[in-house]
Amino acid sequence: MKKFILSAAFMSLSILMLAGCGDSSNKKSTAKTSEPELSAWEKENGFGPVKEKVVLGAIDKKMAAKGEKIFESKCASCHKLDERYVGPAQRNVLERVTPEFFMNMVLNPDENIDKHPHAKQMLAVYLQRMTNQNVNLQDARELLEYFRVLDEGLKAKK
């Protein structure tokens, strides 16, 4: 009995120590400087074919409707709008990332998952890589328009 109590105490102690270790290594990794430096553009907008700010005019409802169809056929297998699924809930994506990051991630997920801190952090949470859906620039722009509509909806509620 004594032995049991001792080993139970030891186990909880090691769990505590492990948890403690996890914490401190996390702190260290954010302070690490060995990661390649991203340019200011890359930090904000990711890696991919979109290399300058997209000109956003008034919302184009036709484009947004096309974007919604693309979302349903190429993205909904992994993303829901309001709940976590294989990937993160997407309704509020434009509150997390810039329009240009959104397009680059959709067009070029692999490089972003390998190099961009936001995509890497998401991978650590969702434990699955987003796959390339072979969308072209026009598709990505239409998807963006769809998410602009959803974002307006969110803003209107606030």
Residues that bind ligand HEC (CB under 6 A): 74-75, 77-79, 86-88, 93, 96-97, 102, 105-106, 109, 113, 119, 122-123, 126, 128-131, 133, 135, 143
Q: Could you tell me the two tokens for 107?
A: 């067009």
In the complex with ligand HEC, the residue whose CB is nearer, 51 or 120, is 120
Contact 142, 66 (CB under 8 A): yes
Min separation Cβ 135 and ligand HEC, Å: 5
Min separation Cβ 104 and ligand HEC, Å: 9
CA atoms within 13 A on the CB side of 56: 14
Contacting residues for 150 by C-beta, under 8 A, at least 6 apart: 81, 91, 92, 94
- The one-letter code for the residue type at 11 is M
In the complex with ligand HEC, the residue whose CB is nearer, 14 or 51, is 51
Min separation Cβ 78 and ligand HEC, Å: 3
In the complex with ligand HEC, the residue whose CB is nearer, 130 or 150, is 130
Q: Could you tell me the two tokens for 119?
A: 């995509």
Q: Could you tell me the two tokens for 108?
A: 């070029």
Min separation Cβ 61 and ligand HEC, Å: 19
